[in-house]
């Protein structure tokens, strides 16, 4: 059953030893590439999947009761990055993110925790240049994994709507798993960076994610002065809206929430 699969994930996560961004236990970190001083890395060596990623990716595609287990793993390799993302839509909020971008790891933890997804991200990229390529390719892989885990999108709510506060910040997110990529983002982030993370990458992250997931996404900042609070409220609101959109609507009885009868582009 899906619940049994989630329990097996929990036991695998608890058995590991390295702390995640939230302080939860995790497995040994993955291999990393670092660029030689003054020049980019010659290429990506093959990396091992961590025990946490294996625990998510190894779940069967169908549970014992015949219910599909909505888990997908996507690997994206370019001359700029080497990214592996796994998402379990019916998880318990566990996050393992080693993206080489500390603030993005923190945001992946928000996505997992508030969406109740199990999320694993392992990435190596040309961060000696900047975080742009790694940020983008993680989002592209995450969107693809989300689309694959959703499958034909039968029985889901499809729509999600949530407003999240974080102290003075208030962000409203509405989304539609329509199969049609669109982003409308109205964030006014007052600083250029949060730590080392360029705040212009927030919108680019969501644009990349909607492009590969087939999602319509609207983000509206209703209040906020602190950059960290604004962005974190955005990811929390997104996680809660996505959680509802992905969850099964019992009244639908497995039918597709569309008068056209399809929610994918294929």
180-228 pLDDT per residue, tens? 999 999 999 999 999 999 999 999 999 999 999 999 999 999 999 999 9
Closest by CA to 246, choosing from 151, 164, 165, 182, is 151
Q: Distance between CA 266 and CA 248 in Å, rounded?
A: 22
Q: Are 75 and 114 in contact (CB under 8 A)?
A: no
Q: Distance between CA 159 and CA 215 in Å, rounded?
A: 10
pTM metric for this prediction:
0.77
Greatest alpha-carbon pair distance for the chain in Å reads 60
* pLDDT tens-digit map of 59-102: 445 554 456 689 999 999 999 999 999 999 999 999 999 999 99
In this structure, the chain runs to a length of 266
Q: Distance between CA 53 and CA 119 in Å, rounded?
A: 8
Please name the residue that has the structure tokens 């974190």.
Answer: 232
Q: How confident is the model at residue 149 (pLDDT cuts 50, 70, 90)?
A: very high
Q: Are 83 and 73 in contact (CB under 8 A)?
A: no
> Computed over its alpha carbons, how large is the radius of gyration of the chain?
18
Please list, in sequence order, all residues whose beta carbon lies within 8 angstroms of the beta carbon of residue 35, skipping any fewer than 6 positions away.
41, 126, 128
């Amino acid at each position: 059953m899906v619940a049994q699969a989630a329990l097996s994930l929990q036991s695998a996560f608890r058995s590991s030893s390295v702390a995640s961004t939230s302080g939860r236990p995790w497995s040994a970190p993955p291999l990393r590439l670092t660029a030689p001083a003054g020049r980019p890395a010659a290429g990506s060596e093959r990396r091992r999947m961590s025990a946490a990623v294996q625990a998510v990716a190894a779940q069967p595609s169908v549970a014992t009761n015949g219910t599909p287990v909505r888990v997908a793993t996507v690997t994206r390799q370019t001359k700029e990055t080497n990214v592996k993302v796994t998402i379990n839509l019916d998880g318990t909020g566990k996050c393992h993110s080693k993206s080489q971008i500390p603030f993005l790891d923190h945001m992946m933890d928000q996505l997992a925790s508030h969406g109740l997804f199990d999320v694993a991200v392992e990435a190596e990229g040309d961060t000696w240049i900047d975080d742009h390529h790694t940020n983008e390719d993680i989002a592209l892989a995450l969107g693809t994994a989300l689309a694959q885990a959703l499958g034909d999108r039968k029985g889901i709510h499809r729509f999600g709507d949530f407003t999240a506060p974080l102290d003075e910040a208030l962000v409203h997110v509405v989304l539609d798993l329509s199969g049609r990529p669109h982003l409308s983002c109205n964030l006014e982030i007052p600083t250029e960076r949060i730590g080392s993370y360029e705040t212009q990458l927030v919108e680019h992250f969501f644009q990349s994610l909607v492009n590969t997931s087939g999602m319509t996404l609207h983000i509206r900042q209703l209040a906020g002065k602190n950059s960290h609070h604004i962005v974190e409220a955005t990811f929390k609101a997104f996680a809660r809206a996505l959680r509802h959109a992905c969850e099964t609507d019992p009244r639908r009885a497995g039918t597709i929430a569309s008068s056209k009868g399809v929610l994918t582009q294929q």
